Structure formats: structure tokens, C-alpha cells
Structure 1
Amino acid sequence: MKSMAATAATAAVLLSVAAHPAAFASAPPAPAPAPAPAPAPTEFTVDTTSDAVDVDGADGRCLTAWGACSLRAAVMAANARPGSTITLPPGHYRLTIPPDPRLIIGDNPDPTTGDLNVAARTTIKGSGARSTVIDANQLDRAFRMQADSRLSDLTITGGVTRQRELPITDTGGGAIANGHHMTLRRVAVTGNSAGYGGGIFNVPGSHLDLIDSTVSRNVAGEAGGIRFDDTGTVTNSTIADNRVTNPGDRPGSLAGYGGGIDIRGRGPVEILNSTITGNRSSDGGGGINFAPAYLDSLPSPIPDVIDLPLGRMTLRNSIIAGNTVDGAPADCKKAFATIASLSNNLDGDGSCRLTAPGDLPSRNPRIGPLADNGGPTDTVALLPGSPALDAADDCPATDQRGVARPQGAACDIGAYEHTS
């Protein structure tokens, strides 16, 4: 009897399931918990010049083992709080933690060693380029920018990457390797060295806005001051006394070019109210070298190699003069590219081929050396009688130093506005 009753009960259940399948369907899996939101942006004020790691790089607190907030700890904490600001009081912030020896110098993704890896949108504010110094101490480059960034009112020096048979992103950027949109304002990038881009290396897909800043006295095997592999602007800035030496131990046709600026992307790159002088290279383009290296295809037949417009750079109200290749004048060199003047530029040796209204090709600019002429960064002054005086138009409201423009009948060409 029990067996018959059980059989009847089972049959009843099966009939019910058949009649109402939805009621007996397995419950859908519970939704995965939503990821915890990133901590809100905040402002970190660095309170020690020592180089120390954050004890917990994921909590966004900026706290070293002894309770201070170092620059490295602040960068690590800001990576957990996108949009944060790091404030640096006056001081000499020397990086002292060498890169992991198992990693090749220049290609160090570890935020706890070597260079400072900015991995989230971050603003870093100093107290003035003459009082706030970030010194990479010849251990590594200073910064690897893996997210949008803004730096202001500071100096970056002492950065280095080694010249080796490596991808250019591994040996590029003595001070900064930039992979995103970076703005430098009132910043001095000086005394750094690299295989490519002694001061700054901007990889494909990046953009640099250099404003009221100076890139000087950097050294590289190619691109002594800045290398652009994509787009950028240089405004009210000075690129001076950078040097390229072809070391002979690195293969490739790019070595030895671009003492001040080397452009290997298609651009556009815009240079406005700036001064490019005193830069040296061993092979070509003492001031500016523009030769795009990222070309998917070339037309056939190639018409005029020199003027084929596969890349574009524009100049306005700028001085390119006093740059050399092995001691001989050589302000500009281009191939597969166009250097377009938007008027009122001065070219010391005529190699930039300036033909727009107001241009002054093959003219002695009568300028001084790179020096402290007042203002937050070193500049190159116009001397009395310079043809650049009162020879520009449509200029920014101030020069690189913050001096109001114009001081005379019209604005001066270059980053410096002469005052009587």
C-alpha cells in the first residue's frame, strides 16, 4: 500500500510540474555584487621629501610606514582616487628607491620602485619651478604617465633611461614617458638623459600641451628635448641647449636627429610664441627634425619626397635660431612632412623655409643665453636691436615669465617680451 501511495504522489508531482513548469524552474543565479566605487578624488599634501611607498596602495590614503605622505605614496594613493590633486611644498624630492633589477631600466611598471607611475587622472602642483624639484637621482626616469595628467610649478631633473636595443617606449623619456594627454605649465624639464626624448617622450596616441615652460640641457641619442609621436602644442615656451649624440651602439636610422624637438608622428604639432635655440644634433635637425615614422602606406609614384605632406607642424610668432648640427647652422630638417608658417616667425639660417607674411628667414635674432630673466623658469632674452622686437601679432596676454604683452608697439616674436 505504501508503495502504491508513493507512486501516486510522485505521479501527482510530475503532472503538476508539467502543468506549471515556471513554478518549478530553478531560480536564476543571484546577480554579482556591483564593484565597490572608486574612492572620491581628494587632495594630498606631501609632507616629507623622503622617497617611501604607500603602505596600502589600494586604499587611497597616502600613508607611509611612519605615517607621512611622500610623493611616491601620494602618486600611489591618487591612482586609487582618479581625479585627485597632489600638492608639493617647496623642497627637493629625490627618488631613492631603484627600479627592480629584474626589470630593464626604463620599463618598470612597479609603482613601489624606480619611476613614479601615474595610472589614474592626476594633477601635481608644485610651489614654483625654482623651489619645488623632483629629482630622479639618475636611477630611472621621473614619471611614466599611464593616464591623463597635469603638472605645474615644478622642476623635473636627474632622470635617465638607458640606450639599448629595446622598443623605443622602454628607452624613451629621460624625465617623462607620456602615454596620454599631459599638460605641463610653468615647468622646467632639465638635466635628463635617454635613448629617445632626453626630456619628454610622447608615444603614439598621446598629446602634450607645453605652456610657459622650459625644456633645457637634456641629452639623448635622438630627440634631445622632446619627441612627439603624435600631437601636441608648445606655447610660450623655451626649448634650449638640448643635445643629441649618436652613440654608435644603437641601430636604426632615427639616431642622431632632432636636437630640440623631434617629430615622428604625423601631428599636427603646433609651436606658438616659443623660442627654440642652442640645441645641437649630430646628424640633422639641430632645432627641429620632422620626419614621420608611422606611415601605413606611401603614394606611388612619390612626387617630391621633401614636400610630401604626410605630417604637419605649424609655427607662429616663434624663433628657431642658433641651432646646429656638428657645429654648422641647422635649425630645421624635414622629410615626408610640412612645416607651415602661420606668420611672424624668425628662422636663423633659412632651413625652415618660412614664406608667410611677417616671417624673417635667415636673420640673426640677437638673443642672449638661457638665463634667469625673472619669472618661474629660465628664458632667452631679446637683446636691443633684435629683429624680433615688435614683430609679432595675435599673441598671448603674457610672455613665458608672466610679463604683459605687448610692451611696445606690437608683441615680440618668441617666448620673451622685451621690457625697456
Structure 2
Amino acid sequence: MRAAIPRSNHTMLATAIALITLPAMSWAKLYTVTSPNDAGQGTLRTILQQIPTESQGNEIIFNLPDHSRVIHLTSGEILLNKSVRIDGGKQGITLNANGKSRVIQITQNKVVTLANLTITKGYLHNYIADSDMGKTVFGAGILNYGVLTLDHVLIKDNWLIADMRPNLKSAPRKAAAALDGFNLGNLEGGGGICNKPGATLHIMNSTLNNNGIAVASGFGGGVQNAGNMIIQNSAILDNSLSAAVGWGGGIANVGQAAIINSTIAQNYVGSSGWGFNYGSGLYNGFGGKLSVSYSTIKHNLRGDEMGNSHVDWQQLFNDTEHSPAGQAWLNHTVWEHADRKFFVDLGNNYLGSDAKLGPLTDNGGPTLTFQPLPGSPLIDAGKTNCTMFVDQRGMPRSPKGRCDIGAVEVK
């Protein structure tokens, strides 16, 4: 029987954020991409090769016309083995792997910022034979071993496929039982992003949309985190997981994670046929520590064996059955029909049946949001003298009086 973690450590919310402090970088040397090709003079790959490996403070910008701001990666993933900032500027740049490879990999200890980019059409496929565990695959969009910041980045349409082993198809219960105490960082996952153990990831003002995994066993349709992670002022939308044994349609966390001022919505886990897929929106377990504050969790779906889908009562699933147990905390967050046994309630949450939210749409800011409608129980129902100064859109919250619950402030 799964039960909530006792309210024994009220400082964990702040601790989770403090553990994920990113180093400051100053960007001194400027390089300019002048060609949209994947190889040759003035291209992104060539410039990356020119940057000294151990140098710091390098920034890459783009001087390309409007009709040439898509870079098709015809020779595999972009390997970032140097500390660098890559900024697509106001017009943005798209890195498109065309369904042939991962888009980007960041190597260990490198400090990288990606800004104003679209990361798309990453694709990884692996067949795992019955007698051989084979090579596991991670992060179809981005695989991070370093220190990565994403700012105004769209990660969409990246997919990871690992064909199911016959023995796992026929004996999922045995496979699930064998995972007790197993490091999920060694399982396939992270359709959009995989953040490996020891790595640091900060996602802000960004969207992960329509990424997914279809695997025998794995976790994280949108994001797989086994390191340290902050998701801030961002939207995790329409990501999916299909597996015999799987965790987390939108996000799966077995590391340290803080989600702040963000929307987790319309993500999906398919039916495994045996009931072993958990957490359509978020999964937290195997020692993972997860704090969710000033956020909205809504309309994450679970499929059934008939091909239908319905709102999942496990939109956030905190796993206390597998060892070590996960720990999760909610604060100033909207989750309709929430199951309280999956988290510690730190207060000012809305867990009722109808938050009276408008549709998921552009309400201003860089990401889609749900805005409270007139008469919503979220309005002015938060903490007195609110300490969160802006909402997901970057709009001011009430500095005096009571702020609204969830990711959007309507005043």
C-alpha cells in the first residue's frame, strides 16, 4: 500500500532548489554562424570544432536570413564537448535531426546554455534481443552529462524507440519486481531530454511538446531526470510513454527536482496491459526528491486496452513501494481530484474537483497556460504576502495580500 511521506522535513522544498544552483558564466568570445549547412565554412559544426576544448566564455550567434534559419543535421548529433552559449536570437534557430539521430549531447563537466532554439525530430531506435540486454538509449532530443541551461527553447517531436524483449512481454510482473533497488538511470527514457546522474539541468521559459518513448521498460516521455533539475516558467505538454513497465508520461524523476511556476498538462501513459505504467504527468521514485510549487497539473491522460484515454488519477505518482522511496512536496499548486497519498501537502494547494480554468492557450508570455476564469477558487487563495513575484508568463503576482494558486496570476 502506497502512502504519503510523513511531513517530517518542511525545509525540503527550499533544499531541493538550493541543491540545483548553477555556476555563473560570462560570455566573452563571440562566434557567428553564417551558413545553414551542416558542414563546411561558417557552419555550426565547424565553429564548434574551432573553439578550444578547455576555453570558457564562448558564445555562438547566427547571421542567417529568415528563410535559412533551419539547420538540418545530416551527419549525426551535435556533440557539445566545450563550454559554450548558443543563442538563436529573436528570430530563433531550429536544429532538425530529421529522424536520423539525437539532436544534441553535452559531455561531462561542460557548462552550456541553449537559448532561442527549437530542438526537433531527434530519433533513437534500439532492438534489444531476448538473450542480450543490448545498448540502452537515452535522450532523443538532448542527452546531458554536464551543466545545461535552456532558455526560451522549444523541444518537440523527438522520439525514442526500444523494441520490447520477448521475455519482458511475457513476464512483466517478474521484470517489475526485479527493479526494486535498481538505478532507473540505466533504463531507456527521456524522449525530449535525459539528464544523467551528476548532471545539472535548468529549464526556463521553455516548452517540451509531443516528445515520447516506446520501450520495454523505461521512464520519462518528455524528461528523464536522474541528476539535479529545475523547471521554471515552462510548459511540459502532450508528451507520452508507451511501455510494458514505465514511469512518467511528462516527467520522470529519480534525482533532485524542483518545478516552479510551470504547467504539466495533456501528457499520456499508455496501458501496459498489466498496470505497471505510472504517473501520466509526473513520476517520482527510487529515492527521487520532487518539489512542485506555484504550478498547474491538469488533464494528464492514461490509455486503456481498448485504445481509449481518460484523465489519470495518478497524474503525479510518488512511488513509495520501490526502494528507496520517493519524496514529493506540493505548494501553491493546482491538481484537480488529487490523491493526497502521493505527496506532502505544504499548504495553499487546490485539490478539489473544479478549479474553473480556461483552455490551454496563449495568455501572454513565452508558453501556453491555463488562466483562472472569473469565480475560480484559485483567485486570492494563496499565501498572504506572496513571496513568488511573477507567474509562469513573467507577469507580476500580488506583492501584497494573497496571490493566486497555480501557474497564472489573473490580476
Scaled by the length of structure 1, the TM-score of the pair is 0.70
Cα distance 1:397–1:78, how it changes in 2: closer, same or farther (>3 A)?
A: farther
Are the aligned partners of 2:191 and 2:212 in contact in 1 as well (CA < 8 Å)? yes
Residue number in structure 1 paired with 2:118: 155
Distance 2:134 2:61 in 1: 31
3-state SS, counterpart of residue 171 of structure 1: coil
Letter in 1 for 2:378: A
Counterpart contact for 1:273–1:413, Cα < 8 Å: no
Residues 1:183 and 2:149 are matched in the alignment: yes
Alignment-derived partner of residue 144 in structure 1: 105
Q: Partner letter of residue 83 of structure 1?
A: G
Letter in 1 for 2:293: R
Superposition pairs of residues 246-325 of structure 1, within 5 angstroms: 246=243, 253=245, 255=246, 257-263=247-253, 265=254, 267-282=255-270, 283-292=277-286, 310-325=287-302
Change (3 A) 1:220 1:47: same
* 1:197 matches 2:197: no
Letter in 2 for 1:333: F
Listed as ranges, the gaps of 5+ residues in structure 2 are 1-26, 162-188, 271-276, 304-308, 320-324
1:88 paired to 2:76? no
Q: Which residue of 2 aligns with 1:123?
A: 85
Q: Is the 8 Å Cα contact of residues 312 and 339 (structure 1) preserved in structure 2?
A: yes
1 or 2 for the larger relative contact order (CA 8 Å, sep ≥6)?
A: 2
With over 3 angstroms needed to count, the CA separation of the structure-2 counterparts of 1:402 and 1:316, relative to structure 1, is closer
Q: 1:6-45 alignment to 2 at 5 Å?
A: 42-45=29-32
Distance, in Å, in 1 between the alignment partners of 2:33 and 2:371 is 35
Match of 1:71 in 2: 44
Q: Compared with structure 1, are the counterparts of its residues 396 and 170 closer, same or farther at alpha carbon in structure 2 (3 Å cutoff)?
A: farther
Partner-residue secondary structure (3-state), 1:72: helix
How far apart are residue 41 of structure 1 and its match? 5.8
C-alpha RMSD over aligned residues: 2.7
| Residues 311-359 of structure 1 deviation map (CA, whole Å, 9 limit, x = unaligned) | 3211211222211222242311122111122x21221231344522212
Q: Note the 1:104-119 alignment, pairs <5 A.
A: 113-119=75-81
Moved more, 383-392 or 191-200: 383-392
How far 1:169 sits from its partner (Å)? 8.4
Change (3 A) 1:45 1:197: same
Instruction: Classify the secondary structure of the residue corresponding to 2:49.
Output: helix
Kept after mapping to 1: 8 A contact 2:77/2:97: yes
Deviation at 1:215, TM superposition (A): 1.2
Give the counterpart letter for 1:359 in structure 2.
N
Distance change in 2, residues 1:52/1:278 (3 Å): same
User: Does the 8 Å CA contact 1:315/1:345 hold for their aligned counterparts?
Assistant: yes
More strand by share: 2
- Cα distance in 2 for partners of 1:325, 1:414 equals 23
How high is the sequence identity, in percent, across the aligned residues?
Answer: 28
Q: CA deviation at 1:202?
A: 0.6
Larger Rg over CA atoms: 1
> Which of 24, 35, 38 is the aligned partner of 1:51?
38
Deviations 1:259-278 (A, max 9, x none): 11001x3x321111211111
1:93 positional shift: 2.4
Aligned residues: 323
Contact 2:31 2:60 in 1 (8 A): yes
How far is 1:395 from its partner?
Answer: 5.1
1:389 matched residue in structure 2: 379
Evaluate the alpha carbon distance shift between residue 119 and residue 139 of structure 1 in structure 2; reply closer, same or farther with a 3 A threshold.
Answer: same
CA contact (8 A) 2:234 2:367 kept: no
**Ranges in structure 1 where 5+ consecutive residues have no aligned partner:** 1-39, 54-63, 98-112, 293-309
CA distance in 2, matches of 1:320, 1:311: 19
